[in-house]
Amino acid sequence: MVRFKSRYLLCELCVSDQSSLQLLDDRAVFTGVRGAVCRAHGDYGAALCSVSFAVKYLNADTGVVFLRCRKSHYRILWSALPFITHLENRGQKVPCAFNCLYVGGTIRTCQKFLIRYNIQQLHRMLPHCHNEAERLEVRRAVLNCSLKSLEKEEEEDE
Amino acid sequence: MAVFVDLNISHTVDKKRLQNIIETAAHLGYSTVAINHVVDLQQKKQEIGKPKCVSELFDQFPIVQGKSRPIKVLNRLTLVVSEASHFRPTNEFKSYDVVAVFPKTEKLFHAACMSFDVDIICIAVTEKQPFYFKRPPVNGAIDRGVFFEISYVPAIKDSTMRRYTISNSLSLMETCKGKNVIVSSGAEKPLELRGPYDIANLGLLFGLSEGDAKAAVSTNCRAVLLHGETRKTALGIIHTMKKIEPTAERREEEEAPVLKRARTEAV
């Protein structure tokens, strides 16, 4: 059995104000990206990209987005992403920028990368803790959360 | 993983914003950034001032994404020239790490490619290129190791600018075939910066091949920095520094003519 090959773009939404990420949802990202492809590559590019294009995952807290696209045309989608300056949801504009972190063939590889990336972020941010109490707080929070429930959801998704 | 460089971050008086941009650049994975000071020589009484010391900007420079080193900040000077007589290499150039020139006419473009002592030649991205890129000056620039710069922020901001940027860069690629091109930002706000891999992919729109596009944000920029370093030194071999002790000043004076002689011989 031959499957349709896809590419998953793991992107990070850069915003100046973290709380504005809460305003976004899947649909806002979907229409925003589709509009950008349309502006950058015209009707033809938009048509190529719209085959199996989907926003697979959006984390409103960290601003991580998974975009799916067919393998043959993912570069068209990717080259349109830098031109996004803001996303719109229910009439509210959220100025933001897409930063592509990883391009993978399956969600699984993207997830592996994301875990590694997040650990890296934690190491980057830990030195910013002002005192020992804060550091302990972070450690407790990390130990408290478990991936078990999340993994179950991911498996269902796949 | 390659070392990514962004050689064009607009200088603003607003220190807070500049810090913000540099922090964002570090977060996106740029190892080196250059703060761009633009001087338009057409306007009168434009002085090429000495750049501010970059170490004043931060107490502690932000750590680069994926590396354990702090970000490196350099100074860059861009001269906008519209008449040949305006371009005069002065001593102030030496205080900048990189010197760029933005020629307005074809004659100046030719001169910039063939004779000016600069590292970067900027390509117009906000208007239609008023002249064609001819093969001989472009080849001359490639031989001398001078690089052409395309900045992408105007393309992000506006649709018409995007058309100009892409058409101008395509016409440049016709002549230089993707060699000696760097892509830089020209960002004034932190949200205008894009990640290096995104830019490498954006290079495909500008007519670069995959390898050239990646080189445009990494290895070519490194070559620019090294080219800029040779201006401060004698052909990159001898480097003289001023010592802080007053007794060392006399020796410094003796050394200076040697440096000059070495340069003139080489030229």
pLDDT digits (tens, 9 = 90+) for B98-111: 888 888 888 888 88
> Which of the residues B19, B202, B204 would you substitute to probe the A interface, choosing the one with the greatest number of A C-beta atoms within 10 Å?
B202
pLDDT higher than threshold 80 for residue A8: yes
The pLDDT value recorded for residue B53 is: 67
Task: Provide ipTM, 2 decimals.
Answer: 0.75
Rounded to a whole number of angstroms, the distance between the first and last alpha carbons of chain A is: 17
In tens, the pLDDT along A123-148 reads: 777 777 777 777 787 777 777 766 66
pLDDT in tens, B3-14: 888 888 887 777
For residue B259, the model assigns a pLDDT of: 52
**Residue B247 confidence (pLDDT) above 70:** no
User: How confident is the model at residue B119, as a pLDDT?
Assistant: 83
Contacts of A119 in chain B (CB under 8 A): none
pLDDT confidence of residue B264: 53
pLDDT at residue A152 above 80?
A: no
Q: Which residue in chain B is spatially nearest to A74 when comparing CA positions? A: B201
Please indicate whether, in this complex, the C-beta atoms of B205 and A14 are within 8 angstroms of each other.
Answer: no
Under an 8 A CB cutoff, do A85 and B190 touch?
no
Instruction: Please tell me which residue of chain A has the smallest CA distance to B195.
Output: A99
- Flag if A81 and B152 touch (Cβ within 8 Å): no
According to DSSP, residue A18 is labeled: G
Mean pLDDT of B23-42: 80
Best of B27, B162, B201, B206 to disrupt the A interface (most A CBs within 10 Å) is: B201
Interatomic CA distance for residues B107 and B240, integer angstroms: 35
Domains of chain A: 1-105 (3.30.70.3250), 107-158 (no CATH)
The amino acid that residue A118 corresponds to is N
Interchain contact B57–A (C-beta under 8 A): no
Please give the pLDDT value at position B63: 74
- Report the alpha-carbon distance of residue A93 to residue B206 in Å, rounded: 29
DSSP category for residue B35: E
| Chain A interface includes B96 (CB < 8 A) | no
Q: Give the residue range(s) of CATH 3.20.20.140 domains in chain B.
A: 4-232
Closest CB to A96: pick one of B24, B191, B202: B191
CATH fourth-level superfamily of B4-232:
Metal-dependent hydrolases (3.20.20.140)
**Is B216 near chain A, with CB under 8 Å?**
no
Q: How far is A156 from chain B (nearest CA, A)?
A: 31
Say which of B28, B65, B198 has its CB closest to residue A81: B198
How far apart (Å, rounded) are the C-alpha atoms in residues B250 and A18?
Answer: 57
**How close does chain A come to B156, measured CA to CA in Å?**
5
What is the residue whose two structure tokens read 């649709």?
Answer: B159
Q: Is A39 on the interface with B (CB under 8 A)?
A: yes
* Residue A42 confidence (pLDDT) above 80: yes
Q: Is A38 on the interface with B (CB under 8 A)?
A: no
Mean of pLDDT values over A72-94: 83
How far is residue B133's CA from residue B143's CA, in Å, rounded to a whole number?
16
Place of tokens 């050689």: B7
Nearest chain A residue to B162 by CA: give it: A40
Instruction: Count Cβ atoms below 10 Å from residue A135 Cβ, excluding itself.
Output: 13
Rounded average pLDDT over B195-206: 85
Q: Give B47-100 pLDDT, tens digit per residue.
A: 666 666 666 667 777 777 777 777 788 888 888 877 766 666 666 677 777 888
